[in-house]
């Protein structure tokens, strides 16, 4: 057995949390966490939110250091909005399969083939893809932003095909869709949810729009992580089947202790597909190390950042 004194690994979560609190004060840092983060990381975060709320908060902060407990594109968005701040990410390998499904060079060709189209990109993209974009959206504001454009506007939407189909269905638009997907949301199973519905006939089904179309159709509510949480808070049902990354269940349970939240199973039950392995790369230990050492830091090429800023600002103006 390891002695308590032997290694920093032996530190308990509460000692790590104390160290993080000290370092945060010393560095004038703010800790931001996405809903899909580990529970212990969210417990010590200054701010928890969906992608839209994290971008808004980053734009407003007066902290010198932003620690983004989320995935890489969230850190990039914060850095583009706050180029004079230090933006840290506890694990730079925390990527996003959806962002990876949109190669900037390929996307650039697609855009060039449709010169009369407005380019809308989901926030889950690299800075290089945002730099090719007219307006960035999140799942929390995509509908509103698309509806703010003239009805006959030709639109390219990327990279999430499922979200694009959802927005087309609710707005009646016919946006051209890039064929990207998230490895977590694209694998939820209609069969598994039907089985759960039989076991819990009164349960309402909450679905993130990155899930496939059949799941969107059977949902009682389709929305971003924050919208699903708001719905659960305001709604009167007692049970919910939650069809998104399972991290959100912690927040739902914390805010609605009297209700039951059931995580939806993924198609491939061998793997923990309802967890985002990228999001879960961030641990308290890595968070402490990154605050202490001032790295890994997010850097964005200044020319790319300059081009990516305007579409992010347009999103913030329009939502």
Site size toward ligand 13P (CB under 6 A) is 11
- The single residue listed with the structure tokens 């059977």 is 218
Stretch that binds ligand 13P, among 134-142, 147-155, 164-172, 231-239 (CB under 6 A): 134-142
The Cα 316–Cα 243 span in angstroms is: 27
278 contacts ligand SF4 (rule: CB under 6 A): yes
The Cα 21–Cα 238 span in angstroms is: 36
Site size toward ligand SF4 (CB under 6 A) is 13
The candidate with the shortest Cα–Cα distance to 84, out of 108, 102, 59, is: 59
290 contacts ligand SF4 (rule: CB under 6 A): no
Give the nearer residue to ligand 13P in terms of CB position, either 76 or 289. 76
Give the nearer residue to ligand 13P in terms of CB position, either 24 or 161. 161
225 contacts ligand 13P (rule: CB under 6 A): yes
Helices (H), the chain: 13-27, 39-44, 51-60, 72-81, 97-100, 104-113, 127-130, 142-147, 161-171, 190-199, 213-218, 225-234, 248-255, 284-293, 302-318
The Cα 114–Cα 31 span in angstroms is: 40
97 contacts ligand SF4 (rule: CB under 6 A): yes
110-117 contacts, C-beta under 8 A, 24 or more apart:
110/156, 110/158, 110/178, 111/156, 114/154, 114/156, 114/176, 116/154, 117/154, 117/155, 117/156, 117/176
Which DSSP state fits 30? E
Give the nearer residue to ligand 13P in terms of CB position, either 67 or 228. 228
Q: Are 70 and 94 in contact (CB under 8 A)?
A: yes
50 contacts ligand 13P (rule: CB under 6 A): yes
**Smallest distance, Å, CB 182 to ligand SF4?**
3
219 contacts ligand 13P (rule: CB under 6 A): no
The candidate with the shortest Cα–Cα distance to 120, out of 112, 129, 128, is: 129
Please give the residues from 184 up to 213 whose contact with ligand SF4 meets the rule CB under 6 A. 184-185
Q: Which two tokens stand for residue 104?
A: 């900037």
Angle (nearest 5°) at CA 44 between 127 and 289: 65
Q: Which two tokens stand for residue 170?
A: 């609710």
Residue 139's binding partner out of ligand 13P, ligand SF4, none, with CB under 5 to 8 Å set by partner kind = ligand 13P
Residue 97's binding partner out of ligand SF4, ligand 13P, none, with CB under 5 to 8 Å set by partner kind = ligand SF4
98 contacts ligand SF4 (rule: CB under 6 A): yes
270-281 b/e with 16+ CB inside 10 Å = b? eeebbbbebbbb
Q: Which of 29, 80, 96, 229 binds ligand SF4 (CB under 6 A)?
A: 96
Stretch that binds ligand 13P, among 55-63, 132-140, 232-240, 298-306 (CB under 6 A): 132-140
279 contacts ligand SF4 (rule: CB under 6 A): yes
**Smallest distance, Å, CB 183 to ligand SF4?**
6
Stretch that binds ligand SF4, among 93-101, 125-133, 190-198, 304-312 (CB under 6 A): 93-101
Stretch that binds ligand SF4, among 52-60, 80-88, 125-133, 179-187 (CB under 6 A): 179-187
List contacts with ligand SF4 (CB under 6 A). 71, 96-98, 124, 182-185, 245, 276, 278-279
Residues that bind ligand 13P (CB under 6 A): 50-51, 124, 138-140, 182, 185, 210, 224-225
């Amino acid at each position: 057995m390891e002695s308590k004194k032997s290694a920093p690994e032996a530190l308990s979560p509460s000692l790590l949390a104390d160290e993080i609190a000290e370092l945060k004060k010393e560095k004038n840092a703010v800790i931001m966490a996405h809903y899909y983060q580990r529970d212990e990381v969210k417990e010590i975060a200054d701010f928890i939110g969906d992608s839209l709320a994290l971008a808004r908060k980053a734009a407003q902060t007066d902290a010198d250091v932003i620690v983004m407990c989320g995935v890489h594109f969230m850190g990039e968005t914060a850095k583009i909005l706050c180029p004079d701040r230090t933006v840290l990410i506890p694990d730079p390998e925390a990527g996003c399969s959806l962002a990876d499904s949109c190669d900037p060079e390929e996307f650039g060709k697609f855009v060039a083939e449709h010169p009369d189209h407005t380019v809308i990109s989901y926030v889950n993209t690299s800075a290089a893809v945002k730099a090719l974009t007219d307006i960035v959206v999140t799942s929390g504001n995509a509908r509103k932003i698309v509806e703010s454009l003239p009805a006959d506007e030709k639109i390219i939407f990327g990279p999430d095909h499922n979200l694009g189909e959802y927005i087309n269905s609710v707005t009646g638009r016919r946006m051209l869709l890039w064929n990207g997907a998230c490895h977590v949301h694209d694998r939820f199973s209609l069969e598994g949810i039907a089985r759960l519905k039989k076991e819990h006939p009164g349960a309402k089904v909450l679905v993130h729009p990155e899930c496939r179309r059949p799941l969107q159709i059977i949902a009682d509510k389709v929305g971003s992580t924050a919208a699903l949480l708001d719905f659960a808070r305001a709604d009167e049902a007692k049970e919910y089947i939650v069809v998104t990354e399972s991290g959100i269940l912690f927040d739902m349970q914390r805010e609605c202790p009297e209700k039951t939240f059931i995580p939806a199973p993924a198609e491939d039950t061998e793997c923990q597909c309802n967890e985002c392995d990228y999001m879960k790369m961030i641990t308290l230990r890595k968070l402490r190390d990154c605050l202490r050492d001032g790295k890994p830091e997010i850097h964005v090429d200044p020319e790319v950042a300059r081009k990516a800023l305007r579409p992010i600002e347009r999103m913030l103006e329009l939502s």
